[in-house]
Structure 1
Amino acid sequence: MSHARLQQPHRKPIDREGHPRAALDAGAVRDAYRRWAGVYDEVFGGVSGAGRRRAVAAANRLPGTRVLEVGVGTGLALPLYDPRKRVVGIDLSRDMLRRARDRVARERLSNVIGLVEMDAEAMAFEDASFDIAVAMFTATVVPDARRLFREMRRVVRPGGELLFVNHFAAEGGLRWWAERTLAPLSRVLGWHPDFALTDLLEDPRQAVEIDPCPPFGLFTLVRVPNLSLA
């Protein structure tokens, strides 16, 4: 990611409700996912599987063949896409991408036409390059989720669709307490445990679908039409 946008170490960022939050930057994300890459599938593959399947099923139903998966990771979702979809995946972690490429080769996924190391907040793609953009468990990782959202809007054609699957913070109770307690450890974990929907969408009414996924509604599918600003 662009070093011009990295938050300085001495700053103490807070979330939109005033709670302490550890800053994430490109180095922190790379370091975290270098640690996770070798065990990611085993540790997170099962618990995140239902949300992943829900997101890809939604993408498969949508019109258009050009799909961008933002934060493709180890490529767990890639075998689930309809073979008629032409999928490009991007990720900041070279270690995760290496495993995604191995998966594509092993499973002969000829519809995956590119896996690229790229900054999700400053993509190299031209405007309107895709029909659909999917970000699964990615919005909590990037330093600025709203910048991610704007970039996804830019690279998806008007009338296309943006799909997100993510953990969003509870509004109260024991889970709320746990998420706030873990928030200062974001740099170690590699994501923000206290991430809220308003960290991604300035106005949640932009979403036409907000659908909790198993298990226990821990993850939520959010679908946002890419409406023209004109």
Structure 2
Amino acid sequence: MSEFRNRAEDQQKIYQRWAPVYDRVYRGILRDGHRKLAALAAAAGTDILEIGVGTGLTLGHYRRHCRVTGIDISEHMIARAREKAKREKLEHVQALEVMDAHALSFAENSFDAVCLPFVITLIPEPERALDECARVLRPGGEIILASKLGDGAGLQGAIETAVAPLVRHIGWSSAFRLHRIIAWAERRGDFAAAEILPVFPNGFFKIVRLKQSGLAA
């Protein structure tokens, strides 16, 4: 538990430093992933939860008929997201709250889609967070993730592992593997990977659709 708490505190400090400049650094490189993730979420249903909303870079990409709730562990990031939603008149954004992905305060069957844009690799206990995503999801809903998800193979895998301690200091992870997400779905038995999409730049990032009840489409 102390290790978990220390990692959470480290993330808070990282995000506090990055909140003022996050949009300038990441808006361009993550735009393709944000846009595609938001479109897939809207296709899954109207009520959407975004975990790790950060400064709100994805919010403007959701279709306006959706009802979007965003959470983040960082109050500094949430403050930026609230400013953005107000400034850009994003009326489809219902709420932006500070919350731990490991212990969501929402009731079961609350959302049609749960999105995790570029955050799953940074969550201290990702399987526990995914279990929470599954709990608040409605039957037939989808968990949609965008992230740097390698397979650990070859030279690229070796490089990703070697640089992992360095990139962690800027709030990223390079060592998280795609098979960890697939293994979570297989262990549960009520989710299946419906689709894995490469996104800019040149497939470096990926989007994974996890559909409930094993109904891959």
Provide TM-score, normalisation by structure 2.
0.89
SS of 2:35's equivalent? helix
| 1:28 is aligned to 2:26 | no
SS of 1:126's equivalent? coil
Indicate conservation of the 8 Å contact 1:198/1:204, yes or no. no
Answer 1 or 2: higher relative contact order, Cα 8 Å, separation at least 6. Answer: 1
The equivalent residue for 2:21 is 39
The equivalent residue for 1:215 is 201
Change (3 A) 1:90 1:118: same
1:8 Cα deviation (Å)? 6.8
Structure 2 Cα separation of the partners of residues 85 and 27 of structure 1: 33
Indicate conservation of the 8 Å contact 2:151/2:179, yes or no. no
What per-residue deviation string (whole Å, max 9, x for no partner) do you get for residues 111-137 of structure 1?
101000000011111111111111100
What per-residue deviation string (whole Å, max 9, x for no partner) do you get for residues 191-217 of structure 1?
321110133332566201011111111
Query: 1:110 aligned to 91, 109, 112, which one?
Result: 91
Number of residue pairs matched by the alignment? 209
Indicate conservation of the 8 Å contact 1:145/1:199, yes or no. no
| 1:227 is aligned to 2:213 | yes
Structure 1 Cα separation of the partners of residues 183 and 158 of structure 2: 24
1:95 maps to a residue whose letter is H
Query: 1:51 aligned to 33, 39, 49, which one?
Result: 33
What per-residue deviation string (whole Å, max 9, x for no partner) do you get for residues 53-112 of structure 1?
1101111222x3110001000001111111110000000011111110010000111110
The equivalent residue for 2:189 is none
Change (3 A) 1:33 1:212: same
Query: 2:110 aligned to 125, 129, 134, which one?
Result: 129
SS of 2:161's equivalent? helix
Indicate conservation of the 8 Å contact 2:37/2:115, yes or no. yes
Change (3 A) 1:226 1:169: same
Higher helix share: 2
1:77-156 matches, cutoff 5 A: 77-156=58-137
Structure 2 Cα separation of the partners of residues 173 and 50 of structure 1: 26
1:171 Cα deviation (Å)? 2.9
SS of 2:91's equivalent? coil
Give aligned-pair identity as a percent: 39
Q: Which moved more, 1:198-207 or 1:93-102?
A: 198-207
